[in-house]
Amino acid sequence: MAILAGKAVVITGAGQGLGRAFAAHAAAAGAAVVVNDVYEPLAKQVADLISLMGGKAVVSAGSVTDPDQAEAMVDTCTAAFGRIDGLVNNAGIRYQAELGHDDPARMRELIEVNVLGTLFCTNAAVRSMRGGSIVNLGSVAMVGQPTALTYSASKGAVASITAGAAAELHDKGIRVNAVCPVAWTNMAASDTKATPCGPPETIAPLVTYLLSDRAAKVTGQLVRFAHGKLHVMGQTSPLEPVLEREAWDVDDIAEAFEEQLEQEDPAWVRWGVRR
Q: Mind spelling out the 3-state secondary structure of the chain?
A: CCCCCCCEEEECCCCCHHHHHHHHHHHHCCCEEEECCCCHHHHHHHHHHHHHCCCEEEECCCCCCCHHHHHHHHHHHHHHHCCCCEEEECCCCCCCCCCCCCCHHHHHHHHHHHHHHHHHHHHHHHCCCCCEEEEEECCHHHHCCCCCHHHHHHHHHHHHHHHHHHHHHHHHCEEEEEEEECCCCHHHHCCCCCCCCCCHHHCHHHHHHHHCHHHCCCCCCEEEEECCEEEEECCCCCCCCCCCCCCCCHHHHHHHHHHHHHHHCCHHHHCCCCC
- Phi/psi zone of residue 62: left (φ > 0), alpha (ψ -120 to 50 degrees), beta? left
pLDDT value, residue 223: 84
Q: Give the residue, 248 or 112, on which the prediction is more confident.
A: 112
What's the confidence (pLDDT) of residue 237? 59
- Residue 132: closest CA among 87, 73, 78: 87
The predicted pLDDT at position 123 comes to 98
Is 90 exceeded by the pLDDT of residue 113?
A: yes
Q: In Å, how far from its chain's centre is CA 45?
A: 23
Burial class of residue 91 (count of CB atoms within 10 Å of its CB; 0-12, 13-18, 19+) = buried
Label residue 110 by pLDDT band (50, 70, 90): very high
Q: What's the CA gap between 272 and 233, in Å, rounded?
A: 21
Q: What is the pLDDT of residue 176?
A: 97
Check 39, 95, 151, 209 and give the catalytic one: 151
Model pTM score: 0.86
204 CB neighbour count, 10 Å cutoff: 23
Burial (CB < 10 A; 0-12, 13-18, 19+), residue 54, is: exposed
Summarize pLDDT for 193-234 with one digit per residue, the tens: 555 556 778 888 889 999 999 999 999 988 887 777 776 876
Mean pLDDT of the chain: 87
Residue 95 falls in the annotated catalytic set:
no
Instruction: Supply the pLDDT for residue 80.
Output: 98
Comparing C-alpha atoms, which of 207, 187, 170, 43 is closest to residue 113?
187
Calculate the dihedral angle through the C-alpha atoms of 94, 96, 100, 105, rounding to the nearest 10 degrees.
-30
pLDDT value of position 242: 75
Q: Give the mean pLDDT of 25-31.
A: 98
Is the per-residue pLDDT at 268 higher than 50? Answer: no
The pLDDT of residue 251 is: 87
pLDDT in tens, 32-64: 999 999 999 999 999 999 999 999 999 999 999
Taking only the tens place, the pLDDT of each residue in 100-109 is: 999 999 999 9
Distance of CA 216 to the CA centre of its chain: 19
Whether 249 has a pLDDT exceeding 70, the answer reads: yes
Strands 222-226 and 229-233: antiparallel
Q: Could you give all domains of the chain from N- to C-terminal order, each with its CATH number?
A: 8-233 (3.40.50.720), 238-275 (no CATH)
